[in-house]
Amino acid sequence: MTIDRPRMMCLMDYMPVYTSRMLKTIAVMLLALVTSPMALAGWVAVGAKGTILNSSDGITWLEADSDTTETLRGVDFDGVDTWTASGQSGTVVRSNDAQNWMQQISGNNDALWSTVFEGGQWIVSGGRGRILTSPDGIAWTSVNSNFSFTLFDIAYNQNNLYAIAGDLGIATTVLTSPDATTWTQNPPQPNNAEGLYGITYDNTIWIAVGDKGKILTTSDPDSRSWAEQPSGTDTDLRDIVYNGTDLYIVVGREGAILTSPDAVTWTPSDSGTTFDLFGVAYDGSGQYIAVGDEGTILTSSDGFSWSTKESPTFRFLYDVASGKLPQTINFPAQSTLFQNFSASGSYSLGPEATASSGLAVTYTTLTAGVCSITDTTVTMISLGECQIEASQPGDSTYLPAEPVTQSILQISTPSPGVPTNPGLVFDPQDSEVFAPSGSFTLTPPANTTQTPVDPQPEIAYASSTPSICSIPLRGSTEVTMLSVGTCSIVAASAPNSLYSLGGPVTASIEILKRPQNITFGPQASQDFVLNSTFALNPKASASSGLPLEYSSLSPSICNSNGATITMFAAGNCTIEATQNGDDTWEPATPVSQTISLVVPPKQPQVIDFPAQVPLFQDAIPGASYPLSPEAASSSGLPISYRALSPGVCTLSGITVTITGAGACRIEASQPGDDNYLPAVPAIQSVLHILTPPGPGVPTKPGLLFDPQDSELFSAGTTFVLSPAATTTQTPVDPQPVIVYVSSTPSVCTIPFQGSLEVTMLTLGDCTIIAASAPNSLYSIGGPVAGTINIYKLAIPAVPVPTLPQPLLWLLGALAAAVAASKLRRGTQKLSS
∠ Cα 140 143 144 (to 5°): 150
Percentage of the chain beyond pLDDT 90 is: 65
The second-level CATH assignment, the architecture, of 11-322 is 7 Propeller (2.130)
Q: Which fold has domain 601-690?
A: Immunoglobulin-like (2.60.40)
Give the pLDDT confidence score for residue 44 in this predicted structure.
97
**CA 444 to each of CA 428, 501, 503, 715: distance values in angstroms, whole numbers, following the listed order:** 8, 20, 16, 94
Instruction: Judge contact between 434 and 469, C-beta under 8 A.
Output: no
**CA 415 to each of CA 63, 500, 503, 649: distance values in angstroms, whole numbers, following the listed order:** 66, 10, 19, 130
- pTM equals 0.51
Annotate 727-757 with DSSP letters as a single string. Answer: ESS--SSSPPPEEEEES-TTTEE--SSS--E
Task: Tell me the mean pLDDT in the region 675-702.
Answer: 84
User: At residue 494, what is the residue type?
Assistant: A
Give the pLDDT confidence score for residue 453 in this predicted structure.
87
Contacts 24+ apart (CB under 8 A), 530-536: 530/567, 530/568, 530/569, 530/674, 531/566, 531/567, 531/568, 532/566, 532/567, 533/564, 533/565, 533/566, 533/567, 534/564, 534/565, 534/567, 535/563, 535/564, 535/565, 536/563, 536/564, 536/565, 536/575, 536/593
pLDDT at 92 over 60: yes
The second-level CATH assignment, the architecture, of 518-598 is Sandwich (2.60)
Torsion of CA 803, 807, 810, 812, to 10 degrees: 10
Q: For the chain, how long is the longest CA-to-CA vector?
A: 157
Residue 56 to residue 42: CA distance in whole angstroms? 5
Residue 366 to residue 364: CA distance in whole angstroms? 6
Instruction: Judge contact between 175 and 161, C-beta under 8 A.
Output: no
Is omega for the bond preceding 332 within 30 degrees of 0, making it cis? no
Residue 759 to residue 384: CA distance in whole angstroms? 113
H/E segment holding residue 44? strand 43-47
Task: Tell me the mean pLDDT in the region 161-176.
Answer: 78
pLDDT at 223 over 60: yes
Which has the closest alpha carbon to 408: 431, 378, 434, 435? 378
Task: Tell me the mean pLDDT in the region 463-489.
Answer: 93
Confidence at 28, pLDDT banded by 50, 70, 90: very low
Per residue in 363-409, pLDDT tens?
999 999 999 999 999 999 999 999 999 999 987 678 889 999 999 99
Which has the closest alpha carbon to 443: 467, 427, 455, 464? 427
Instruction: Judge contact between 297 and 45, C-beta under 8 A.
Output: yes
Residue 812 in 3-state DSSP?
Answer: helix
Give the pLDDT confidence score for residue 163 in this predicted structure.
82
**CA 260 to each of CA 240, 241, 248, 499: distance values in angstroms, whole numbers, following the listed order:** 11, 11, 5, 74
> Residue 49: how many CA atoms within 13 Å on its side-chain side?
8
Q: Are strands 83-87 and 267-269 parallel, antiparallel or unpaired?
A: unpaired
Give the pLDDT confidence score for residue 797 in this predicted structure.
57
Phi, psi values for residue 104, rounded to 5°: -115, 160
Reading across the β-sheet that carries 564-567, which strands appear in turn? Answer: 533-535, 564-567, 558-561
- What CATH code is assigned to 329-512? 2.60.40.1080
Instruction: Judge contact between 280 and 251, C-beta under 8 A.
Output: yes
Instruction: Judge contact between 756 and 726, C-beta under 8 A.
Output: no
Give the pLDDT confidence score for residue 808 in this predicted structure.
62
Give the pLDDT confidence score for residue 689 in this predicted structure.
87
Give the pLDDT confidence score for residue 755 in this predicted structure.
82
Give the pLDDT confidence score for residue 831 in this predicted structure.
44
| Cβ-based burial of 628 (10 A; exposed 0-12, middle 13-18, buried ≥19) | exposed
Instruction: Judge contact between 561 and 522, C-beta under 8 A.
Output: no
pLDDT at 3 over 90: no
Extract the runs of DSSP E, i.e. beta strands, from 417-516: 424-425, 432-433, 439-441, 447-448, 459-463, 469-470, 478-481, 485-493, 502-512
Instruction: Judge contact between 395 and 368, C-beta under 8 A.
Output: no
Confidence at 800, pLDDT banded by 50, 70, 90: low
Average pLDDT, the chain: 87
* 560 DSSP assignment: E
Q: Are strands 237-242 and 227-228 parallel, antiparallel or unpaired?
A: unpaired
pLDDT at 309 over 60: yes
Give the pLDDT confidence score for residue 15 in this predicted structure.
32
Dihedral sign of CA atoms 755, 760, 761, 765 in order = positive
Per residue in 756-782, pLDDT tens?
999 999 999 999 999 988 888 888 888
Phi, psi values for residue 511, rounded to 5°: -95, 115
Least-confidence region, from 1-5, 134-138, 415-419, 492-496: 1-5
Give the pLDDT confidence score for residue 29 in this predicted structure.
34
Percentage of the chain beyond pLDDT 70 is: 89
83 DSSP β-pair partners: 77, 95
Residue 300 to residue 288: CA distance in whole angstroms? 5
Residue 622 to residue 620: CA distance in whole angstroms? 6
Q: Are strands 384-391 and 377-380 parallel, antiparallel or unpaired?
A: unpaired
Least-confidence region, from 24-33, 107-116, 672-681: 24-33
Give the pLDDT confidence score for residue 34 in this predicted structure.
31
Give the pLDDT confidence score for residue 227 in this predicted structure.
94
Residue 235 to residue 732: CA distance in whole angstroms? 88
Give the pLDDT confidence score for residue 693 in this predicted structure.
60
Per residue in 699-730, pLDDT tens?
889 899 998 999 999 988 999 999 999 998 88
∠ Cα 597 598 603 (to 5°): 140
Task: Tell me the mean pLDDT in the region 404-428.
Answer: 87
Give the pLDDT confidence score for residue 620 in this predicted structure.
93
Give the pLDDT confidence score for residue 265 in this predicted structure.
96
Confidence at 799, pLDDT banded by 50, 70, 90: low
Residue 461 to residue 506: CA distance in whole angstroms? 9
User: At residue 696, what is the residue type?
Assistant: G
pLDDT at 821 over 80: no
Contacts of 819 (CB under 8 A, 6+ apart): none
Which has the closest alpha carbon to 154: 104, 102, 206, 191? 206
Which has the closest alpha carbon to 2: 291, 297, 266, 271? 291
Radius of gyration of the chain (CA): 45
Per residue in 722-739, pLDDT tens?
999 999 888 888 888 899
Instruction: Judge contact between 422 and 450, C-beta under 8 A.
Output: yes
Confidence at 19, pLDDT banded by 50, 70, 90: very low
Instruction: For the chain, report the end-to-end CA distance as a whole number of angstroms.
Output: 117
Q: Quick one: how far is CA 353 from the chain centroid?
A: 44
pLDDT at 461 over 60: yes
331: how many CB neighbours lie within 10 A of its CB? Answer: 26
Residue 19 to residue 25: CA distance in whole angstroms? 10
Which has the closest alpha carbon to 447: 476, 424, 474, 471? 424
pLDDT at 807 over 70: no
pLDDT at 121 over 70: yes
Class (C level, CATH) for 695-793: mainly beta
3-state helix vs strand vs coil in the chain, percent to 5: 10, 40, 50
User: At residue 257, what is the residue type?
Assistant: I
Classify residue 631 as left (phi > 0), alpha (psi -120 to 50) or beta. Answer: beta
Instruction: Judge contact between 54 and 64, C-beta under 8 A.
Output: yes
Give the pLDDT confidence score for residue 39 in this predicted structure.
38
User: At residue 676, what is the residue type?
Assistant: Y
pLDDT at 426 over 90: yes
The full set of domain ranges for the chain reads 11-322, 329-512, 518-598, 601-690, 695-793
Give the pLDDT confidence score for residue 809 in this predicted structure.
65
User: At residue 572, what is the residue type?
Assistant: N
Per residue in 590-618, pLDDT tens?
999 999 999 888 899 999 999 898 888 99
Give the pLDDT confidence score for residue 27 in this predicted structure.
35
Task: Tell me the mean pLDDT in the region 456-481.
Answer: 92
Contacts of 572 (CB under 8 A, 6+ apart): 554, 557, 594, 595, 596, 597
Instruction: Judge contact between 242 and 233, C-beta under 8 A.
Output: no
Confidence at 26, pLDDT banded by 50, 70, 90: very low
Examine domains 11-322 and 329-512 and report if their fold is the same.
no
pLDDT at 32 over 60: no
